């Protein structure tokens, strides 16, 4: 038996919702609903891509993968954003990889079409540039957090950022995956996650995480989370 895909509409992506003008309706027809299954690689470093993605229920992780195989998450993109900013900025490719961190659905559109609208320098242009700045804030904070904060704080930040981009408080995530996103040992994640569980903040079950006390996480997390969230709210108030 096959399960019918859930019914989504483009406006569930916050950026698309913010476009909603005449210029947008011209290309809205070209949006295409796609499944974004866990682990799918959407962009690979140095490769120029044909589509940009507006996630709805999926979360995409921007990772830098080093020569020795170690990786580090730079930012996450969910329904508040767009995957493919470099395509609009004119650079085509990036040095990072985009991987689906939490499976779901999204819309995609041919790069050229969005680029054409972007280059008219109307609402779409302005919204996307503000989003670009929000993304830069996230990168900034990742860099600073990597330097100074403990694994526990970083995990809290990661959980909250993910939660903000999901409809539920449940994540499908193994500790192995989280570790590779954060660029730390799996055993380190186990330790810290156990601590959070004993404190009653989360519940763990083989690849399922449930956040049971969001407030508690917000108390434990470092400032980085709030800085990013505040900046997204400021730059993209519609969301």
Q: Please, what is the minimum distance in Å from the beta carbon of residue 142 to a second copy? A: 5
Nearest to 61 by CA among 235, 180, 169: 180
Residue 13 or 141 having the CB closest to DNA: 141
SS (H, E, C) 22-40: HHHHHHHCCCEEEEECCCC
Residue 56 or 135 having the CB closest to a second copy: 135
> Which residues contact DNA (rule: CB under 7 A)?
70, 150-152, 174-176, 183-188, 190-191, 193-194, 197, 204-207
Burial tier of 69 (Cβ tally within 10 Å: 0-12, 13-18, 19+):
exposed
Q: How far is CA 47 from CA 30, 61, 65, 78, 181, in A?
A: 23, 17, 14, 22, 21
| DSSP line for 61-72 | EEEEE-TTS-EE
Applying CB under 8 A, does 238 fall inside the site for a second copy? no
Partner in contact with 233, chosen from DNA, a second copy, none, beta carbon below 5 to 8 Å by kind: none
Q: Please, what is the minimum distance in Å from the beta carbon of residue 147 to a second copy? A: 4
Question: What would you measure as the largest C-alpha separation in the chain, in angstroms?
Answer: 54
Q: Say how far apart CA 187 and CA 55 lie, in whole Å.
A: 31
First to last CA, the chain: 37
Partner in contact with 102, chosen from DNA, a second copy, none, beta carbon below 5 to 8 Å by kind: none
Residue 58 or 222 having the CB closest to a second copy: 222
Partner in contact with 187, chosen from DNA, a second copy, none, beta carbon below 5 to 8 Å by kind: DNA
Applying CB under 8 A, does 144 fall inside the site for a second copy? yes
Non-local CB neighbours of 6 within 8 Å, separated by 6+ positions? 57, 105
Q: Say how far apart CA 175 and CA 204 lie, in whole Å.
A: 10
- Interactions with a second copy, residue window 112-131 (CB under 8 A): 119-121, 125-126, 129-130
Partner in contact with 29, chosen from DNA, a second copy, none, beta carbon below 5 to 8 Å by kind: none
DSSP-derived pairing of the beta strands 97-102 and 59-65: antiparallel
Residue 105 or 118 having the CB closest to a second copy: 118
Q: Please, what is the minimum distance in Å from the beta carbon of residue 35 to DNA? A: 20
Applying CB under 8 A, does 235 fall inside the site for a second copy? yes
Applying CB under 8 A, does 137 fall inside the site for a second copy? yes
Binding site for a second copy (CB under 8 A): 62, 64, 66-67, 70, 72, 74, 85-86, 88-91, 94-96, 119-121, 125-126, 129-130, 132-137, 139-144, 146-148, 183, 223, 227, 231, 234-235
């Amino acid at each position: 038996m096959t399960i019918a895909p859930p019914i989504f509409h483009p406006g569930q992506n916050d950026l698309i919702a913010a476009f909603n003008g005449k210029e947008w309706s011209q290309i809205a027809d070209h949006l295409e609903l796609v499944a974004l299954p866990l682990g799918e690689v959407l962009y690979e470093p140095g490769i120029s891509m044909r589509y940009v993605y507006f996630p709805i229920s999926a979360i995409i992780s921007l990772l830098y993968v080093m020569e020795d195989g170690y990786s580090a998450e730079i930012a996450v993109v969910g329904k508040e954003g767009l995957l493919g900013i470099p395509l609009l900025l004119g650079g085509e490719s990036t040095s990072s990889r985009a991987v689906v961190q939490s499976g779901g659905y999204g819309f995609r559109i041919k790069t050229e079409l969005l680029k054409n609208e972007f280059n008219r320098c109307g609402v779409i242009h302005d919204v996307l540039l503000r989003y670009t700045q929000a993304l830069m804030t996230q990168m900034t904070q990742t860099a600073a957090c990597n330097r100074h904060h403990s694994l526990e704080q970083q995990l809290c930040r990661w959980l909250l950022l993910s939660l903000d981009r999901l409809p539920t408080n449940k994540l499908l995530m193994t500790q192995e995956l989280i570790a590779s996103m954060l660029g730390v040992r799996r055993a380190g994640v186990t330790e810290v996650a156990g601590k959070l569980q004993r404190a009653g903040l989360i519940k763990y079950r083989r690849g399922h995480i449930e956040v049971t006390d969001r407030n508690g996480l917000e108390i434990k997390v470092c400032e980085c989370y709030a800085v990013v969230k505040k900046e997204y709210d400021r730059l993209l108030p519609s969301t």
